[in-house]
Each structure stands twice: as structure tokens, then as C-alpha cells.
Amino acid sequence: MRREGKRKRPMSEINVVPYIDVMLVLLVIFMATAPLVTQGVKVNLPKKPSDAIADVQDDPLVISIREDGALFLNLGVRENESSGQRVTIYALEEQAGKLIRARPDVPVYLRADSSLDYGKVVEIMTVLQSAGAESVGLITDPPEL
């Protein structure tokens, strides 16, 4: 009873829960290089040395965000074709949701252009989270030495 009373009190602060959620997701993220994903969409990846993703052959879902914010999925295309399928943010949520329901252990990776602002990346990660992704891997290019 008491708890309900508490809940009804007017909110006096910004709701930071979703941000904390995203931060938690980010904590889980491991930075990685993905030599396999050398396709299509031109994305400048952040240069950051990190470990290669262990099992890159495990048919991951890869979401690419182009410099201009356009989204691409590695679905609906031939494997040898270089360009991904361009999708809206709603289609991204739907397709990712289906896939995760059918195959809960699917690895999900995000390739975001390094010039993108942080907010855009967080927005996509929030979408993936609501689609059921437990963790999202960020793909980086190996640093040029």
C-alpha cells in the first residue's frame, strides 16, 4: 500500500532509468574488430585496438549506421553482394525482434560511423534492447599504425 502511495507522488526529477539501462548495456559491450564485415555501407569506424570477436562465423546480426544516420541490416541480400538492406528504425525493431525470438542466442553487432554523435548510437541501442537484445557488440576497425 505504501509503495503505491509513493508511486503517485509527482515526479520531480528527470527519469534517468532508460539511460542507466543503456549504460548497463554499454558495460556489457565488448569492443571488437570484425574483419569479416567489410561490406557495403561506407562507415568510418572508430579506431580502437580491441580483441577480435571470438566466433565471427556464428551468423551475427549486423546493424550498420551510415554517416548520415541511414540504417542497414545484413539481411535480404546475397552474401556476396556488398550492400546491406536499408531499413527504417521500425523495420529494424521488428526484424531484430523476430530474430531474437526465434534464436535468442544470436550475436548482435553495431557498426556505427565514427562521425556519428553519441545520441544516435544510443537511440539504436535502445531500439535493439527493446527488441530483446541482451548485449550489443560494437564493431571497430583496427587502428592504423
Partner 1 sequence: MNLLRRFIICMACFVGSNMYAGLAIEIVEGRDNPIKIAIVPFGQSLNLNIDQDISGIVAFDLARSGQFAPMAEENMLSYPDRQDKVYFRDWKILKVDYLVIGRVEQEYNADLSVVYHLFDVVNARHLISRRVTGSQKQIRDIAHSISDEVYQEVTDIPGAFSTKLVYVLAQDLGTKYSNFKLQLADTDGERVRTLLSSKEPILSASWSPDGSQVAYVSFEGGRPAVYLHNISTNSRRMLSTFPGINSAPVWSPDGRKLAMVLSKDGNAEIYVRDIGSSKIQRVTRHPAIDTEPAWTPDGSSLVFTSDRGGKPQIYRINLSKGITDRLTFQGDYNARARLLPDGKHLIYVHRSDGVYHIALQDLERDRIMVLTQTDLNESPSISPNGSMLIYATQDNGQGILAVVSIDGTVKYRLPSSLGDVREPAWSPYLKSVLRSENL
DSSP code for 37? -
CB of 110 to partner 1, least distance (A): 16
**Selected range binding partner 1 among 9-17, 20-28, 33-41, 74-82, rule: CB under 8 A:** 74-82
Which position among 13, 51, 55, 79 is part of the footprint of partner 1 (CB under 8 A)?
Answer: 79
Q: Which three cell numbers stand for residue 51?
A: 580483441
Least separation in angstroms between residue 105's CB and partner 1 is 9
| Spatial separation of the C-alpha atoms in residues 108 and 138, rounded to whole Å | 9
| Of positions 3, 78, 90, 144, contacts partner 1 by CB under 8 A | 78
For the CA atoms of the chain, what is the radius of gyration? 17
CB of 73 to partner 1, least distance (A): 9
Q: How far is the CB of 114 from partner 1 (least distance, A)?
A: 26
- CA–CA dist 85, 21 (Å, integer): 29
- Look at the block and give the residue holding cell 536499408: 86
Q: Which of 82, 103, 117, 134 binds partner 1 (CB under 8 A)?
A: 103
Q: Could you tell me which of 70, 26, 34 has the C-alpha nearest to residue 52?
A: 34
Contact 84, 122 (CB under 8 A): no
**Hey, what's the cell of 123?**
537511440
Q: In the range 41-60, which residues lie near partner 1 by CB under 8 A?
A: 59-60
- Under the binding rule (CB under 8 A), the answer on residue 88 touching partner 1 is no
Q: Which residues bind partner 1 (CB under 8 A)?
A: 59-61, 74-79, 95, 98-99, 101-103, 106
